[in-house]
Chain A
Amino acid sequence: MSKVIERDGVQYEVIWEKPKGLKEKQMHYCPGCAHSTLEKLIMEVIGEKGLTENTIGVSPVGCSVFAYDYMDIDMQQAAHGRAAAVATGISRVFPDKLVFTIQGDGDLAAIGTAETIHACNRGENIVIFFVNNAIYGMTGGQMAPTTLEGQITSSSPHGRDVKLAGHPIKISELVAQLPGTCFVTRVAVNTPQNVKKTKAAIEKAFNNALDKKGTSLVELVGNCPSGWKMTPVNSYIWWEKNMIPMYPLGVIKDVDNN
């Protein structure tokens, strides 16, 4: 039996509601950006699983820095790149709580590489959400470690030259090598089907943490309409055509299936 609400004398069937776990504050994310979908999905899962009182989140420096303004749970804001270390500190004093981070590619794959790899290697019972949109969004679209070869950014105006700037780094494949990780997967939110798969991945990752299986890393291959200097629609086309072939979706490691 679906819920019905009435507005201005017209009855509407409710097919989707803003999750209760999201605060009233309007998100600052650019139109078309994948970040907001991820945060919404995380809060849906936390709400459905009744985990609000048992969860502590960590926001990074980067576009999701203000995640605590939207997600209605106890949260800590970490220094640039240090979210996995902060999450380690939380998880070690609250081993039974669900601890997660949301981090971008600059935060996790450049300045925070050491913290990320070592948290994964220790198998911290945390969930790392890695939003990879191949660019530094917040600081104005500079080249990130995951920027594609030839991609033009504000700090690679001639296109990323791999001889000078190295190759796009594949973090998920890297951390999947580490015995501490239990689940590494790559998802996207560019289609309804992919949104559903992303939500399932979040659920699985949270279950892993609650079951103390080790570190789960969910890489969201994302977009950045503003940083890529595209309309939201064009960014979706570029996302599918360039990003997903470079960072193919699917489970990279799942200890349950090995």
Chain B
Amino acid sequence: MLQEVIFAGFGGQGVLTIAKNVAYSAMLEGKETCWMPTYGPEMRGGTCGCTVSVSDKMISSPILAKYDVGVILNLPSMDKYEPKIKSGGLIIWESTTITDGPKRGDVKSIPIPAYDIAVELGSTLVMGMVLLGAFIQKTESITIDSVLEALRKTLPARRHNLIPLNETALRKGYEYASKI
């Protein structure tokens, strides 16, 4: 099993963090993983992408040209990464703010109104977690339990009060995706 995923959106949308959660969860599950940001001179507001590879075996190349799955949080990222998803691959995308979904017929499109769901939950900050829940439902590359364990290990103690909200967001995203 080797799954190569691109997470992309605006800087500040939590792209690097949700990608890190996937890598950390994979590590907790004893899998091999590699997290590789596309780093650039932009700070806030620029387009930001991060690839995560998850595998049973040593990961040969951390830098990828094509991806199995795209988790897309903004329109510029859709334009940039849609052509780079492998045929038969998956695009999970934030459908409240991105109006146009993938145009290709050979990839599976999973629109998730993550922004709306996050607003309902009371914090737009958990939008990424909603998408991560959908990602887990569709790919099964990691489990919700490992993400929660990862959050407990990576968040400082004073932020652990946020874990229940994140869990709700993950489960909402998972539920929503299971209906698509």
Determine whether A and B are in direct contact in the complex, meaning some CB atoms lie less than 8 angstroms apart. no
**B residues within 8 Å of A by Cβ?**
none
Residue numbers of A with Cβ under 8 A of B are: none
